[in-house]
Structure 1
Amino acid sequence: MGIPIKAISVVRPGGSLIAAGKKTLEVRRWHPLLQLGENLLVVENNRFLKGEDEDQGAAVAIVRVTAVRPFCKFDMALACASSFEEGWLAWVLSDVRSLAFPIPVAARRKIYEVELPDDFPTAQIGAHLSV
């Protein structure tokens, strides 16, 4: 059956930088359909996805989005960004739980739901698994 969790795909090396605690902001044009503080699985993949496109990815971390605010030029280092554009949103990532081993997972656009293996260490998910 698996353990359901919401996921987001991030192009390499962004997912690894999040898992390492170096990238603390994720920048998107849209507001996440999440409760603030809800668990979010970070799936790293190799390329930008378009339309209904999918790619093979690897789950590398579980995080919480604790705030969403306008992306500012001074945020570029926290987002590990190389360019800035007005109107984008900065998702503040916290409670980063890096996975000991990457788990193969499909990479999709927007926020989507995946199922973690039944034997996934629930301590990494935390006390409040939200879907």
Structure 2
Amino acid sequence: MNQPYIALSIVAPNGTRIAQGRKTLEVRSWQPEQLPLKDIVIVENQNYLTQDGDEEPGLAVAIADILAVHPWRKDELEAACAGYWAEGYFAWEISNVRPINPPAAVMAKRKIYFIEIAHP
């Protein structure tokens, strides 16, 4: 039976890096409207979704919690698996990561959105 979850799409290979515990910060130009975000599904997709309404097939690769967000710092490149640092972004602290194995096919959309998947 499928259950509703909130979801966040992340461009490959970073969804997999989150599922593996290698990426502990997600860097975004915006902050969520409310915290904490518990049991958010990480959906890995192939392209940046930059326009309202953009979506594409993706894979639900993990369930995680985002308990805090702070201004991204220069010393957090490795935790974010980032190649460069830029001012004005926010670091979303990823914790309690539970990989979904096997990953489930779902749609990837912009911002935070709702999906339904079988309870992993």
Mark yes or no: TM-score above 0.5. yes
Aligned to 1:74: 75
Structure 1 stretches of 4+ moved >2 Å: none
Deviation, 1:39, is 1.5
How many equivalent residue pairs? 119
Deviation, 1:37, is 4.8
Q: What amino acid does structure 2 have at the position aligned with 1:43?
A: V
Identity of aligned residues (%): 44
Q: TM-score, normalised by structure 1?
A: 0.86
SS of alignment partner, residue 76 of structure 1:
helix
Contact 1:19/1:96 (<8 A) preserved: yes
Aligned to 1:23: 23
Higher strand share: 2
Q: TM-score, normalised by structure 2?
A: 0.94
Deviation, 1:86, is 0.5
Aligned to 1:102: 103
SS of alignment partner, residue 87 of structure 2:
coil
What stretches of structure 2 of length at least 5 have no aligned partner? Answer: none
Contact 2:35/2:68 (<8 A) preserved: no
Deviation, 1:95, is 0.2
Q: What amino acid does structure 2 have at the position aligned with 1:78?
A: A
What stretches of structure 1 of length at least 5 have no aligned partner? Answer: 122-131
